[in-house]
Amino acid sequence: MTLIHKALSTLAVLALAITAFAATEYPAPPKEVFRYAISDSGDAFEIDWAVEDGAYMYHGEFHFAVNDAGIVLNTPELPKGEVHTDEFFGEQVVYRGNFFVRIPYTIKGARPDSVELTIDSRGCLDSGYCYMPQTWVETVKLKPAGPSGTPKLSLGSSMGTSSDSEFPPVDEVFIPEIFVVDGNTVELGIRVAPGFYLYKDKISVRSLSDDAKTGHPDLPQGEIKDDEYFGEMEVYHESIIAPMAIARATPDAMELDIELKYQGCADGGLCYMPQTRVFTVSLPAAATVSDLAAMPAGSAPVSEQARLAKIITSSSIWVAAGLFFLAGLGLAFTPCVLPMVPILSGIIAGDGDNVSSKRGFTLALSYVMGMAIVYTAAGVVAAAAGLQLQATFNQPWILILFAGLFVVLALGMFGAYDLQMPSGLQSKLSSVSGNQKSGTMVGAFVMGALSSLIVTACVAPALIAALTVIAQTGDMLRGGSALFAMSMGMGAPLLLVGAAQGKLLPKAGGWMVAVKNSFGFMMLGLAVWMLSRILPGSVTMALWAILIFMAGVFMGGLTTLTTESSVPQKLGKGFGFLAIFYGIILLLGSMTGGTNPLQPLASINFAGGAAVAEAEHELPFQRIKSVDDLDREIAAASAGGKTVLLDFYADWCVSCKEMEAFTFTDADVRAALSNTVWLQADVTDNDKVDQALLNRFGVFGPPTIIFFGNDGAQRHGYEVVGYMKAEEFTKHVRQAFSSSDSMSAQTH
């Protein structure tokens, strides 16, 4: 019966795995999902398990064996677990998160130095995927007879009890362990025996290697205790797990010695002496390396996008979604998202004279869902395939097509035609959707989907964080959920616009024509804005000149007023004439090479009656193209004792132009970069050379700014993604280069 049961169990698991694989591609390897660390206490094997979120292990599927007949394993001591109703196995006891297994043993004869421990286990994912039964064999070094053993003691360590004390030795009360997560992360675990506690502020970690530095362990919140030795302290009465970043100077696999210090006491009144332990961990190859000399002691700087990526992977999926919704809400007021307001307003205005708040909100929701779904799907596909999302959506033919669509929609606003669906399709949609008008909901959804292209003109730390999680971990669920939440945050103000249109839009009469005409000009403005990413600046300014001139004509700037003219007509005449005048100035500026609509005549100097072109606020960037160009310039800068700023730029990148217009021109920014070589990589073409340079640093798109110290090493953790104001950027630059400058001063 046992063989039959095992056979049926295996077949059931195989069927579950095949079914789940169709829905969940490329699950993480089991050793990445079910991690463990093994140690020997002298009379038992102790295994600390760390199970990833969304996964679990079966209590009844644990089996242990050793290859030495002189060692007899006793009954394993497993925790209580939780009851889980399984689709194939019925009610089962399972384990999630962190748990501890103890396997007592007795030795017959001589004590060996090491033994091979075989671990049989089985686990599944909440998504439905079930791994095949796993068998892992680990070599465990046995503690020699007596009280001494691993982990090894560093100088200065002492025990807190004597041999005749009623309290157990410190190593039986506080059991520290360190196990590897990846090349740049480890987890510190300290088991605390019942009746004892550990001081939070007495826990410290440092690397004993010159090739790596440890960050501060991310310790959980403890409980406040009025301690008889130290007063009010934060302590741990239970075991803790704390992730810890590792900054490395080399990406190669390495052995790292980590020193851990801690101190704890017994509830019964004894306080142990401070303890120091040294652990040797084997780190695999690292994904990133750091300039260790430029790092403050005990901390590894983490960029904003890296912190957000950690939120996605380590926090609850609902917490991550909420935070990314707020991040999207902040992005909603950037130049890359604001153009969606006139698009949505035009859709609502074109829906008819009587638009209720409910109707406006429904249209806005359809529009936002179209934008969010397409933007999320495109981001997931791009990150999974390693594509440059921005460059893909900002190809010239795509921008021209989209601009043409805006022109067509604008003509509809001006009354050149009635934009509606074929009558046959209208009838079918009406029969399906009741009173819904002419499939406008579908049109709003499609326009929202197309409008998602606008958002790709900018990147932000939140976007890069989500794309990084998808690209590096393959966790499309968490990364995609964060992307979708961010998209909904960007669209939240649009829902308010939709609901308000029913109250703000005039219901009928000549005002409605004027409103539609204004939305028509907004659509044409969006077309010019889209084309500005690929057209020369002077040509773009000429298009703005024509658009503003014609808007002035529509406002009545060239009409003749009479004594009977109304106040609105007089206001229209005045503002229209100003628009016409400004349009003429823009046109003159474009003809003389001007590119800035806010300063149309800045390129002209009328001194001596001659027009002389001058470059104002010229930026000291040196253009580079390839990886070799970058390495050569960094080496030259390092030889001269200079730091380096590398700016990834593209003609279609809106935030790049914001940085050049408002941040890089600031006097304080220039002062902070006075000893810095300004390099700029123009990745507009997104050719193979551009992609090689982007891939070297894992950059998803511009604007991204990377800093290098005066020793030529990259300042990891100080990357800037997206637009940053001048004051904040100045502080960021000084922090990034502070250590390098001090080292340079010491050297000289």
pLDDT, residue 470, reads 65
Burial 484-507 (b: 16+ CB within 10 A, else e): bbbbbbbbbbbbebbbbbbeebee
pLDDT beyond 50 at 678: yes
Alpha-helical runs (H) found in 86-152: none
pLDDT beyond 50 at 23: no
Separation CA 423–CA 327 (nearest Å): 43
Domain edges within the chain? 2-141, 152-300, 312-506, 625-747
Average of per-residue pLDDT across 198-227: 82
Separation CA 491–CA 393 (nearest Å): 19
DSSP 552-596: HHHTTTTSPP-TT--HHHHHHHHHHHHHHHHHHHHHHHHHTT---
CATH topology assigned to domain 2-141: Immunoglobulin-like (2.60.40)
Average of per-residue pLDDT across 353-366: 74
pLDDT, residue 612, reads 42
Closest listed residue to residue 207, CA positions, set 225, 229, 228, 184:
184
Average of per-residue pLDDT across 578-589: 85
pLDDT, residue 641, reads 86
pLDDT beyond 80 at 157: no
pLDDT, residue 57, reads 92
More confident residue, 3 or 87: 87
Residues of the chain with pLDDT > 70, as a percent, come to 71
Residues of the chain with pLDDT > 90, as a percent, come to 5
pLDDT, residue 120, reads 93
pLDDT, residue 37, reads 80
The two structure tokens encoding residue 164: 């005749």
> CA 96, 97, 100 angle in degrees (round to 5)?
90
pLDDT beyond 70 at 608: no
Per-chain mean pLDDT for the chain: 75
The two structure tokens encoding residue 400: 């021209």
pLDDT band at 347 (very low <50, low <70, confident <90, very high): low
pLDDT, residue 303, reads 60
Give 616-647 pLDDT, tens digit per residue. 457 889 999 888 899 899 989 988 888 999 99
Domain 625-747 has CATH 1.25.40.10: no
More confident residue, 670 or 533: 670
Same fold, 2-141 and 625-747: no
Map tokens 């005990």 to a residue.
298
pLDDT, residue 437, reads 46
Give 490-529 pLDDT, tens digit per residue. 888 878 877 776 555 545 455 556 766 777 787 787 778 7
Which helix (H) or strand (E) is 399 found in, with range?
helix 396-413
pLDDT, residue 657, reads 80
pLDDT beyond 70 at 474: no
The two structure tokens encoding residue 347: 């859709």
pLDDT band at 291 (very low <50, low <70, confident <90, very high): low
Range of weakest confidence among 131-145, 187-201, 506-520, 699-713: 506-520
pLDDT, residue 149, reads 36
Average of per-residue pLDDT across 10-33: 56
Separation CA 94–CA 60 (nearest Å): 8
Q: Which long-range contacts (CB under 8 A, 24 or more apart) does 473-478 make?
A: 473/28, 473/313, 474/26, 474/28, 474/384, 475/312, 475/313, 476/380, 476/384, 477/127, 477/317, 478/312, 478/313, 478/317, 478/320
pLDDT, residue 63, reads 93
pLDDT band at 312 (very low <50, low <70, confident <90, very high): confident
pLDDT, residue 66, reads 92
CATH topology assigned to domain 152-300: Immunoglobulin-like (2.60.40)
pLDDT beyond 60 at 673: yes
DSSP 595-654: --TTSTTTT---GGG------TT----EEE-SHHHHHHHHHHHHHTT-EEEEEEE-TT-H
Range of weakest confidence among 270-279, 447-456, 620-629, 655-664: 447-456
pLDDT band at 161 (very low <50, low <70, confident <90, very high): very low
Give 401-413 pLDDT, tens digit per residue. 777 777 877 777 7
pLDDT, residue 160, reads 37
Give 92-147 pLDDT, tens digit per residue. 889 988 788 889 898 888 888 889 999 999 998 888 788 888 899 988 888 775 44
Whether the Cβ atoms of residue 146 and residue 156 lie closer than 8 Å to each other: no
**CA 567 to chain centroid:** 53
Closest listed residue to residue 199, CA positions, set 168, 174, 216, 177:
174
Average of per-residue pLDDT across 188-216: 85
Range of weakest confidence among 252-266, 407-421, 606-620, 716-730: 606-620
pLDDT beyond 80 at 669: yes
Range of weakest confidence among 231-235, 309-313, 377-381, 426-430: 426-430
Average of per-residue pLDDT across 316-331: 81
pLDDT, residue 119, reads 94
Q: What DSSP character marks residue 687? A: -
Map tokens 């009741």 to a residue.
434
pLDDT beyond 70 at 670: yes
Give 270-288 pLDDT, tens digit per residue. 778 788 888 888 888 876 6
The end-to-end CA distance of the chain, in Å, is 81
pLDDT, residue 454, reads 64
pLDDT, residue 434, reads 40
